[in-house]
């Protein structure tokens, strides 16, 4: 890896699935790559579905604050807001002119999100083109993503390949990096992956009382009707959560007791709550500190945009010349 890029939407609260599945990996990449680990709050992506304009700026700031609180170190990595670097959208338009509609309508995420909307905006269709621009404007060679984003990264590679072949060799074909140790955190409903769009999340900054109430509702082994019934951990969403946040020895011991009806589900849920709070308490404490010093978060975002803008400008100038635009006289 030489340069990585990844983004997170400010479309809702950052949740424990984001932390365990992505942010922890971002922190490791920052330790390895320093400033060439580029992370972005992708606010333009957040407006491709219905949203509250009055809440967007606040959520964008909050997303940055929470990522810093979770351990993303601005002294090592680069963190900024997508809309603060306008070259993202300029390059996205160029890529739009080169991307067949058929490639976009085949995207699984487009189909899923479009099916939940009465009227589908063109921005949702063009979402992966903007994502490609986010990545390629910095000539990133690696993109840490979850498995659900692999189709988009393959399209990014195709967009780069098509542009290079049609105009000039400018862009690398970035590789997706799926952390083999990154967990696929289930939602508290036990039916799907934890997702802001589904509303089945535990927020990193959520009140502990609310977190406990959510944990109480997590589905158990449906075959375990009475406390005296043996349970199967593999059928329990509670154990699925527990194995991602608790020490393996603890999980193994509880699983054996569970199979022998030696421990009740409520006890395991209380242990799960305690283990989750061990992760969240320091994050929440750091977030409280940052809220008392919002200028620090602002400075991080301004410095991040200042650092990456020259890279984006240089790439965009190469693109303008390659596609034949009339350049201003100096």
Report the DSSP beta bridge partners of residue 78: 38
185 with 241: CB under 8 angstroms?
yes
Work out the average pLDDT over 71-97: 97
Provide the annotated active-site residues: 113, 193, 196
* Span 12-24, pLDDT tens digits: 789 999 999 889 9
Q: What is the model's pLDDT at position 115?
A: 87
Q: What is the model's pLDDT at position 230?
A: 83
**Percentage of the residues of the chain whose pLDDT score is greater than 90:** 75
Query: What's the CA gap between 77 and 8, in Å, rounded?
Result: 15
Q: What is the model's pLDDT at position 181?
A: 73
Give the list of residues 6+ apart from residue 201 with CB closer than 8 angstroms, or none. 12, 13, 15, 16, 17, 187, 188, 194, 195
Q: What is the model's pLDDT at position 186?
A: 86
Give the list of residues 6+ apart from residue 2 with CB closer than 8 angstroms, or none. 33, 36, 141, 142
Work out the average pLDDT over 25-37: 93
Query: What's the CA gap between 307 and 100, in Å, rounded?
Result: 33
Q: What is the model's pLDDT at position 112?
A: 87
Residue 153 has pLDDT above 90, yes or no: yes
Work out the average pLDDT over 219-241: 86
Residue 151 has pLDDT above 90, yes or no: yes
Q: What is the model's pLDDT at position 66?
A: 96
Work out the average pLDDT over 308-323: 98
Residue 162: pLDDT band (50, 70, 90) is: very high
* Span 245-283, pLDDT tens digits: 999 999 999 999 999 988 888 999 999 999 999 999 999
Q: How much of the chain is helix, strand and coil, in % rounded to 5? A: 60, 5, 35
Q: What is the model's pLDDT at position 229?
A: 83
Q: What is the mean pLDDT of the chain?
A: 93
Residue 317 has pLDDT above 80, yes or no: yes
């Amino acid at each position: 890896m030489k340069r990585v890029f990844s983004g997170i939407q400010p479309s809702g609260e950052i949740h424990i699935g984001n932390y365990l599945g992505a942010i922890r990996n971002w922190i490791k990449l920052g330790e390895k790559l320093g400033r060439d680990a580029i992370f972005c709050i992708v606010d333009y992506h957040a407006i491709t579905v219905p949203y509250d304009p009055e809440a967007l700026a606040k959520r964008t700031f909050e997303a940055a604050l929470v990522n810093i609180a979770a351990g993303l170190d601005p002294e090592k990595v680069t963190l900024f807001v997508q809309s603060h670097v306008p070259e993202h959208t300029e390059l996205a338009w160029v890529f739009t002119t080169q991307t067949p509609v058929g490639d976009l309508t085949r995207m699984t995420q487009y189909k899923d999100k479009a099916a939940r909307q009465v009227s589908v905006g063109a921005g949702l269709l063009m979402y992966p083109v903007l994502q490609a621009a986010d990545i390629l404007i910095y000539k990133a060679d690696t993109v840490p993503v979850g498995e659900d984003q692999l189709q988009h990264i393959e399209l990014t590679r195709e967009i780069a390949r098509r542009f290079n072949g049609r105009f000039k060799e400018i862009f690398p074909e970035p590789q997706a990096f799926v952390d083999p140790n990154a967990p696929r955190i289930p939602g508290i409903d036990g039916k799907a992956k934890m997702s802001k769009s589904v509303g089945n999340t535990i927020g990193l900054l959520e009140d502990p009382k609310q977190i406990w109430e959510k944990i109480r509702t997590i589905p158990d082994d449906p075959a375990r009707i009475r406390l005296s019934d043996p349970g199967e951990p593999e059928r329990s969403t509670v154990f699925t959560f527990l194995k991602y946040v608790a020490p393996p020895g603890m999980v193994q011991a509880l699983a054996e007791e569970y199979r022998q009806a030696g421990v009740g589900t409520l006890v395991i849920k209380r242990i799960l709550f305690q283990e989750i709070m061990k992760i969240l308490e320091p994050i929440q404490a750091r977030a409280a500190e940052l809220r008392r010093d919002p200028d620090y978060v602002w400075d991080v975002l301004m410095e991040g945009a200042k650092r990456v803008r020259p890279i984006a400008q240089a790439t965009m100038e190469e693109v303008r010349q390659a596609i034949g635009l009339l350049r201003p006289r100096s």
